[in-house]
Structure 1
Amino acid sequence: KTTFVKRHIIGELEMKYASRLPFSVYPLHFYTNFGEIIFNVWDTAGQEKLGGVRDGYYIAGQCAIIMFDVTSRITYRNVPQWHKDIIRICGNIPIVLCGNKIDVKDRKLKAKSITYHRKTNMKYYDISALSNYNLEKPFLWLAQKLAGNDDLQLVSQIPLI
């Protein structure tokens, strides 16, 4: 999850990081055909023992990305609980489910076994923070839902000269 966020911030892969906190907040800037959108992304710890701490950071959340690792079945097994926690605290907000590390050869979860999003009407994307695959799609979908405009598109920032 942290690699996914940092890839957006610095535009390249950063492999070395050490989190000492149960969360970090990163403002991610996206430019659209309707202006700039800033997502304040809360990168929360996925460990179950931190669930109560994590719940506090969901308050006032307007949208969410739930991410699991396709090379680890246990992370996918946690998705229903994470989803229920978000709904319990935030209500009916737009939520995207992302399966990360889809380019890794040791994939434990095949596409046909990833079905939770269908039962809950969540949007789903396969992504890879390593190869930069589909990284903007979750944010585009969330921006469209938050703006209530499916014509909203991400654009490159125009450099000011």
Structure 2
Amino acid sequence: MYKLILVGDSGVGKSCILMRYLHDEFQTDYDVTIGVEFGSIPLEIMDQTILLQIWDTAGQESFRSITRPYFRRAVGALLVFDITQRESFNNLKSWLEDIRLNASFNVQITLIGNKVDLSYDRVVSYEEGEKFAKEHGLLYYETSANTSTNIEKVFEETAKSIYVRVQNGEIQIPVDIGQFSLEQESESGTESESTMKPQNEEEKKSGCC
């Protein structure tokens, strides 16, 4: 079992990426994640069946103290920004620091520039994203949950990289990760594989890609 986390600013499309990958669905209107959402899926990697346990974390600043504990024992992280929102790119260093402080040692991190279907509104170039990834030792892909561009690829390539690094002894998988995650979920009061509703209409967003 590999625990993965989806991390990044609110509205960059983390929940839509997860929904597209798990259910091959896309919603133009969605509710902002409040706390954490959870899903899992088996994946074949080099003749081995790996269960990906994926945690989608809230991006609002007010929830960061709540979501940080969910980074623990994660061996992979998908760090997402919106190519049409410069601020979401500028905030990557802060998110990267949170991941490396709270996730597993040598956690595999993949940087995702999301919403490439809106390239006509792009404000962050591919070269900028690629440069940031190289400077910080990350994989880099650009995606769209709307068109499904590279969605499967980012999960598969991240999982493959984790697998290789586990075999090389660079990453250790916690033997009790499943039990730990269930206990953590119970203590926090969240619900598995469910969408947590926003507190009010102002928290709703649209156009998730």
TM-score category, normalised to shorter length: 0.7 to 0.9
Corresponding residue number in structure 2 for 1:155: none
> Any conservation in 1 of the 2:15–2:33 contact (CA below 8 Å)?
no
- Alpha-carbon distance, 1:111 to partner: 1.4
| Distance in 2 of aligned mates of 1:33 and 1:87 | 27
Q: Partner letter of residue 128 of structure 2? A: S
Q: Percent identity over the alignment?
A: 27
> Any conservation in 2 of the 1:8–1:28 contact (CA below 8 Å)?
no
Listed as ranges, the gaps of 5+ residues in structure 2 are 1-13, 166-209
Q: For 1:27, what is the secondary structure of its paired residue?
A: strand
Moved more, 77-86 or 26-35: 26-35
Alignment of structure 1 residues 18-37 onto 2, 5 Å: 18-19=31-32, 21-37=34-50
| Distance in 2 of aligned mates of 1:131 and 1:50 | 29
> Any conservation in 2 of the 1:97–1:124 contact (CA below 8 Å)?
yes
Which residue, out of 54, 58, 61, partners 1:41?
54
Which residue, out of 108, 112, 133, partners 2:127?
112
Q: Which runs of 4 or more aligned residues in structure 1 lie more than 4 Å from their structure 2 counterparts after TM superposition?
A: none
User: Would you say 1:132 and 2:148 are equivalent positions?
Assistant: yes
Moved more, 127-136 or 137-146: 137-146
| Distance in 1 of aligned mates of 2:50 and 2:43 | 5
Listed as ranges, the gaps of 5+ residues in structure 1 are 150-161
| Distance in 2 of aligned mates of 1:92 and 1:35 | 22
Report the count of equivalent residues: 149
User: Would you say 1:50 and 2:63 are equivalent positions?
Assistant: yes
TM-score by length of 2: 0.66
Distance 1:77 1:11, change over 3 A: same
> Any conservation in 1 of the 2:43–2:50 contact (CA below 8 Å)?
yes
Q: Partner letter of residue 61 of structure 2? A: E
- Alpha-carbon distance, 1:80 to partner: 0.8
Distance 1:107 1:25, change over 3 A: same
> Any conservation in 2 of the 1:127–1:133 contact (CA below 8 Å)?
yes
Corresponding residue number in structure 1 for 2:116: 102
* CA RMSD, 1 decimal: 1.7
Moved more, 19-28 or 57-66: 19-28
| Distance in 2 of aligned mates of 1:20 and 1:10 | 17
Q: For 1:125, what is the secondary structure of its paired residue?
A: strand
User: Would you say 1:88 and 2:101 are equivalent positions?
Assistant: yes
| Distance in 2 of aligned mates of 1:75 and 1:17 | 19
